[in-house]
Every structure is written in structure tokens, then in C-alpha cells.
Amino acid sequence: MILLGTCCLSTVPSTTPAYPSLPLGSYFDLHKPLLYSKPSKFTSLVINGHRRICDLFDLHQEHVPYEVAWSWQKEIVREKRAQIEKEGDCNDTLIILQHPPVYTLGTASTMENLKFDMKNAPFNIYRTERGGEVTYHGPGQLVMYPIINLRTHKMDLHWYLRTLEEVVIRVLSSTFSIQASTVEGLTGVWVGNEKLAAVGIRVSSWITYHGLALNVTTDLSPFKWIIPCGIRDRQVGSIKELVREGVGRGRADLHHLNDASLIHITHESLLEEFSQAFQLEYSYKSISSSMLYERK
């Protein structure tokens, strides 16, 4: 089924047909606070500079249901708009997490890019206000949701999109010795014919939300049920697959890393490159899962 508008937990079906080759991963334990890693060594690169503060919610080990994260983002946007109206500015925010399996549709999405019966969808489907076409989110994919005030960066959506892509390109190069690029006329980050990162954003009063998704150890089989981003003649890929294939031969040590380690080093590199690209200093924040679920 397609779920529209602002979501609350009561709108989510209690059961979803399972996709046979994809482990669903764990959902939140509603009685257990989320735990976040302590600031890692790269934060020293920005702590002494004169940079904007970015509130960081580091949930990269958590599988946060899409509708919860979506509602949370929209609430933060409303709070920032109110703060800007009252005080003239606000801190930026970055959320990094994973999602349980889900398909999302952007403003340009059409049903022609779905290869399944809508009445028997493999996973929940959400039509959102972000730009772009259909995509898949699931375990092993790191998703970054920057909620930043472009008035204090650059009021240029093309610049913002290209900067998000550049963050991923730098991560792949510096951490994995993988040479990635953009493709003219398309969004996202590519290695050859494979798309490793999708980008889809929304901007409200120059405050951004939604963001980017990078396939790290993702099971790519659910992408076969859709035409990802509406692009028929290209494939999707992951860091894990490229490392196994020997792409980025300068990092032979990466071949022996397990999935958790690949997620960890990719997450740290994403945070570092994002802070450098947007000249931000992180202020680590925490939130309990029960507080997240209170958001409607």
C-alpha cells in the first residue's frame, strides 16, 4: 500500500509481506534508550575553528522506521522556521541512520517504475515530498538527513545537491580508494555504470530536509522490484561489492572487514567529509526511541 501525508504509527500495517532474500533487521526496542558513539577523533578538526554549530543525532547503528524519521525531520523544520522568525538564525542539524526495508516515492514518481502489484507490495511504500523517483532504503545503507539553513551557507539548490554528492565522492576516494563521479543530467554518485548513492531533497523557506542514501553493505536484491530513480539503463551498487571485486586496490586491508566494520568506517568518513564540506562543528545530541515515537 502507499502511505501518504504525515504519518503516525497507527497508519502502518502491523505486517508486511517479507522479501525472501532480505533480512528485515531489528526495529527499535521501545523500552530501551538509543546509545550513541562518543565523538571520534575527526571532531578535533573543527572544534577550534569558527564554524557553525550542527546538532548531530548519530543513529547509524539503528534501524529507524522511515515514517518515524520522516515525521521527525518535518518537526525539526517547523522548529527551525519558528526559531529563525524569532531569533534570525538557528543551528543546523544532521541525522544519520539506517532504515528497515521500505520503498519511497518522490514528487516525480510514477507507478510505471514499480514492478509489483501495489496490493501486494514487498514492503511499505511512502509517497513523499522529496524530489526524484522511486528508491529503496534498507539495512546496510547509511542515510544522512541534513536539516540546514541555506541562508547561512549558500541559497543555491544546485550548489547544495552538488555538495552532497561531493561528500560521498570524497568518502569513496579517501576511505576506499574508489574513484566515483557524477553523471551529467542525473543526480547521485556513480562508479562506472553503478549508482552507489541517491540524493533527494526538499527545501522549505531555505531549510533543507530529506538527503542522501549510500549503499554500504546493502542487500541490493529489492532494487530489482523497481526501476531505481526511474533510470532503466544503469545499475545500483554498494561499497561492499566494489571492495570484494577489488575496486580501490590501494586498500587491500578492506577485503577482510565485516559488514559492521564497513558501516562504521563509512559512517565516520561521511561525518568528517560533511563537516568539512559545510564548515560545521558537531554538537552531539541524543534522543530516546520513546521520544521519537511520540512524534506524529
229 is catalytic: yes
Q: Residue with C-alpha cell 515514517?
A: 67
β-pair type (189-191, 194-204): antiparallel
Q: Taking a C-beta distance cutoff of 8 angstroms, is the pair 161, 198 a contact?
A: no
Active-site position among 7, 54, 90, 229: 229
Tell me the angle at which helices 259-278 and 157-176 cross, rounded to the nearest 10 degrees: 140
- As a 3-state breakdown, the chain gives helix, strand, coil percent values, each rounded to 5, of 35, 25, 40
Q: Taking a C-beta distance cutoff of 8 angstroms, is the pair 109, 227 a contact?
A: no
Which H or E run contains 202? strand 194-204
Ramachandran angles phi, psi of 211, nearest 5°: 165, -125
Q: How far apart are CA 8 and CA 36, in angstroms?
A: 25
- DSSP result, 127-141: E-SSSS--EEE-TTE
In 41-163, the DSSP E strands lie at 52-63, 92-98, 102-105, 125-127, 135-137, 141-147
Catalytic residues: 229
